[in-house]
Amino acid sequence: MSSEHAQAITEHFPRTEYHRLNYYVDPVARKSARVLWAARDASAEWVRATEAHDWDAVDAAMFNLAVFDKAYELNQAQWPHRMSSPTPDQWQKESNGYIYLAYILAGRQLRDLGHRDRIPPRDAVLDFCRAAMDLCYTPLVDARPLDPVPLDYQLLEKYDPLVRHKRQLDALSHDTRSEAFVSDHQRNEWVWTDEAMSPGRTTDTSDSNPPRADVAAAVGARRGAARV
């Protein structure tokens, strides 16, 4: 990754942009989507809480998920730049670095705001993020963990979409849940789109089979780089 590219990604915390909405398809059936939804909601709540100085809202669940959300963004940014599929050891080492960097960014922001006391113990955060990253790995551009760390879904707490968005999810059929869940800036909330599925979106509910369009794009990009 170039220094300019790295700076563009790491200059903000928490994560605020989401370009691969197909990774959020059906959190009821897909465990990875469930975690990614929770992480996205926690990041949005982080922004609200810090702007409103609502420090009681900045708890361990929010911190863990917002840190993972940022680490996952950093990992995704590497997909087009990986010239070959990493080994499990390589990917774990690299993604551990993104997790630690995200932890530093979160802690630094709270420190600068005068609330170092809201920073949870480091090891607990890193362990949670490692488990979430292992669950959300993408074949070809990441590596299947040889010994994945199990994720305790109770740690999602109020950000678990099966709880937080239960009413909406219960009201929808499986096909409808395949639609994107996007940010409506006027309403300042996440809403369902009414559009039909876009060409790059998939209804595959297997966590081991991510949206093919994104993987193909990443693989194509690194092949193009190899020819340069």
Tens digit of each residue's pLDDT (9 = 90 or more) over 165-196: 998 888 875 555 555 555 454 555 555 554 33
- Locate 29 and state its tokens: 């059936």
The whole-angstrom separation of Cα 127 and Cα 221 is: 32
The whole-angstrom separation of Cα 53 and Cα 48 is: 8
pLDDT band at residue 7 using 50, 70 and 90 as cut-offs: low
Q: Name which residue leads in pLDDT, 124 or 186.
A: 124
Look at the pTM and tell me if it is higher than 0.75: yes
What's the distance, CA 180 to chain centroid? Answer: 15
Contact between residue 4 and residue 156 where contact means Cβ atoms under 8 Å apart: no
